[in-house]
Amino acid sequence: MKLVILGKPGSGKGTQAQMISKELGIPAVSMGEILRQIEKQDTTLGRKIKKVIDKGQLLPAKMALDILDEKLRKLNMKKGVILDGFPRTISQAKALEKKMKIDKAIYLDVPDKLIVKRLSSRRECYCGTVYNMTTNPPKRDEICDRCGRRLYRRKDDEPATIKKRLGIYNKLTKPVIDFYRKKKMLLKVDGAREIKSIFNDIIKKTSA
């Protein structure tokens, strides 16, 4: 099964992708995570991606697809794949359609107000662990439970950048939802609920 998970920044795409991956035994690919790993590298591409991410913008379609292609070639996709947060534009959706047949597009619907609250409360560690200071805080304030290093807030999680990211989403990514809806592939899920309830709803709908 090949799935796409869509939603606003902070809608919980990554969390659900990992849970679905474990449940169905298929790999999950997070475009956002791939880009964050590249941006940490002291390379021309890394610096370019960092600049785009810090501004809350989206990568050019061809660059994003080339990066995704490289990752997918290294995966065993016999059972399928879960694409977390990709495609983000109509051009990306159409290009992806030429590369593989997507079975379902899961859309996590979350109000903007809750998105701003979630992202502004999010903290990350250099080891990759992610926390939410409201719903999933570390045991010690701003200190990672896993490795003991101080947490940080990503620049694209600053309130002003969050609003800009939501603006870009509404302009460029929201039409992707309509793209999959017209193809009768869209599964709309209320993403404002408890994580387990969202997960159970997704599994039920993808199995129907």
Kindly name the residue from 8, 118, 122, 123 that is annotated as catalytic: 122
Active site residue 13: yes
Active site residue 117: no
Active site residue 149: no
Active site residue 122: yes
- Contacts for 47 with CB less than 8 Å, ≥ 6 apart: 39
Kindly name the residue from 8, 88, 118, 123 that is annotated as catalytic: 88
CA atoms within 13 A on the CB side of 24: 25
Kindly name the residue from 117, 154, 181, 193 that is annotated as catalytic: 154
The C-alpha atoms of residue 124 and residue 195 are separated, in whole angstroms, by 19
The C-alpha atoms of residue 70 and residue 195 are separated, in whole angstroms, by 31
**Cα dihedral angle (188, 161, 165, 131), rounded to 10 degrees?**
-30
Residue type, 121: S
Kindly name the residue from 8, 118, 123, 165 that is annotated as catalytic: 165
Kindly name the residue from 8, 13, 118, 123 that is annotated as catalytic: 13
| Residues classed as catalytic | 13, 88, 122, 154, 165
